[in-house]
Amino acid sequence: MPTLFRELAKLCEQLGSTTKRTTKLRWVASFILQLDLNEVEPAVTMLTGRAFPKREKRVLDVSWMTINTLIRRMVDADNRVLSKAYSQAKDIGEAAKIIFEIGKMRKQALLSEKIMTILEVRQMLTTIAEATGSGSREKKERLLETLFSSSSPLETKYLVKILTGEMRTGFDEGLMEVAIAEAFKLPLTLVRTANMLRGDIGEIAYLARSQGKEGLKRLRFTIFRPVKPMLAQMASSVTEALTKHEGSTALEYKLDGARVQIHKSMSDVRIFSRRLTDVTESFPEIVQLVRDEVDADEAILEGELIATAENGRPRPFQHLMRRFKRIREIEAMAKKITVQLYLFDALFINDESLIRNPYQARRKALKQIAGSIPLTKQIVPLKASIAEGFLKEALEDGHEGLVAKRLDSPYTPGVRGKGWLKIKRILEPLDLVIVAAEYGYGRRHGWLSNYDLAARDEESGEFLTIGKTFKGLTDTEIVNMTKRLKRLKIKEERGRVSVLPRIIVEVAYNEIQKSRKYECGMALRFARITRIRDDKSLEETDTIQKVREIYAGQFKRHH
């Protein structure tokens, strides 16, 4: 019997009601087991806050502004009622539920409620995504109105969350891997490896259900399907890194650029950002370089792109971001902002996976096929004094610092392990999300220039504010930021605009203080934005748990 979408919505509501990990896992594993085979992928994808599988290029192309305008029109509530709903709600999905409960009579008059299944919701979302060309906006709005009118307020809450990618039930992809393993009695390591190879948790759930352990074991790297990058933890000094790696480590320049994953199959080359977005068209000169120089029929390589000045020194990160965003006049921009590729790892070469090989062996294999493409500068230090000198050299050359890579470490996609350690001279900046902004005064009148900064709570999925800043952006960046924030506006009152958490910024600060001002009990001191991180995803933002660790570390040092 087809599973109703309202059952998925009820599950999501349950997940948001508890922080108990074991309880969440039990609920989700039980739900997955009850699904029909063809419902598994759509359900798992929706539960993790997406409308479609990651592998698909299909997008809804529906802005929050469109959804907000439609809700207002359907309910026909005045601004006072709407403002109250947004004030009471923790997020926009909850606000939509409250608004539709208030306007339930009008909504039912529009269209009698139809009981929709999970597959019918997926089909409706697909139809919305496929509406393109002239008149597509109006068609999308009509389809959305049908979708909302056919659902209860609770279903509407989670439809809005799926449409905007704002699920926030505290049940992330890592927990979904555990739930799949428990539901189908599979080793967790196998599920995680399979998800790394495919990069799509919905597909892994489908394969686990339909083919079991053997199906997941058969998975291999697939060229042009990017995998999650291995991540690094922070080390306070080269001495700490050498100690943690027991002296068996390679130190490499940490370049101030953008990480990329490069896939090559014969003459076909594609470049993916760290968010696994295809950015091939933005870098035609890099495509040609890889095509000419990489001596392998098939390869998956990792590297760093940096913008360079005429003297070869790195230019600020924001120059590079202009290349990533460019979709027109690419050749002219390539001449204006030159980029340099440095390679640093090899995951796959000529039908052989290298991720279980030690880093030292992967680096050697990379060097053999890289041709004239430079590898990140590296030493294997025997003494701490040599390592300190190398760090000083990296900073003087205009780079961020070093990455220490344990020589025997395997490649662990998507995992922030101790195999790689970042080393910088200053407090590590935090990647935070702008959740609100206020209009400035004087010269900044009319611009949203004072920003509320939030960290992600791993348990609840919410973004908790930990500080404000009006420092760091240029006038041009503030103007552009104002335009972006207005498109993400949820509500506005007394000069303060609450927005969808979409824009990620790197934030420097002097220290973290105890504070009653914010719910989390902490606040950043002297926060300032150092860069806009459009290359990062929300899942890569720093967590409130990490902020608490940094705060505790400060407390120990001060006492």
DSSP string, 247-298: T-EEEEEE-SSEEEEEEEETTEEEEEETT--B-GGG-HHHHHHHHHH---SE
- Return d(Cα 314, Cα 308) in angstroms, integer: 4
Q: Which of 308, 305, 318 is nearest to 279 (CA)?
A: 305
Q: Which of 88, 87, 50, 94 is nearest to 71 (CA)?
A: 94
Annotate 134-162 with b (16+ C-beta within 10 A) or e (fewer): eeeeebbbebbbbbbbbbbbbbbbbbbbb
φ/ψ of 372, rounded to 5, equals -90, 0
- The contacts of residue 529 (CB under 8 Å, 6+ apart) are 451, 469, 471, 472, 473, 505, 506, 507
- Return d(Cα 379, Cα 252) in angstroms, integer: 7
Kindly state the tokens that stand for 6.
């309202």
Own/partner pairs, 283-290, CB within 8 angstroms, 24+ separation:
283/323, 283/334, 283/339, 284/330, 284/331, 284/334, 285/334, 285/339, 286/262, 286/339, 286/341, 289/341, 289/373, 290/262, 290/264, 290/341, 290/373
Question: Considering 254, 491, 536, 546, which one is annotated as catalytic?
Answer: 254
Residue 377 bears catalytic tag = no
Kindly state the tokens that stand for 53.
């599988």
Helix, strand, coil share of the chain (percent; to 5): 45, 25, 35
**Residue keyed to tokens 């509320």:** 452
**Residue keyed to tokens 């002097």:** 510
Residue 299's CB: how many other CB atoms inside 10 A? 24
What does DSSP assign to residue 8? H
Q: How many helices (H) and strands (E) does the chain have?
A: 21, 19
- Pairing state between β 489-493 and 463-469: unpaired
Torsion angle defined by CA atoms of residues 318, 313, 404 and 234, in that order, rounded to the nearest 10 degrees: -30
Residues with a catalytic annotation lie at 254
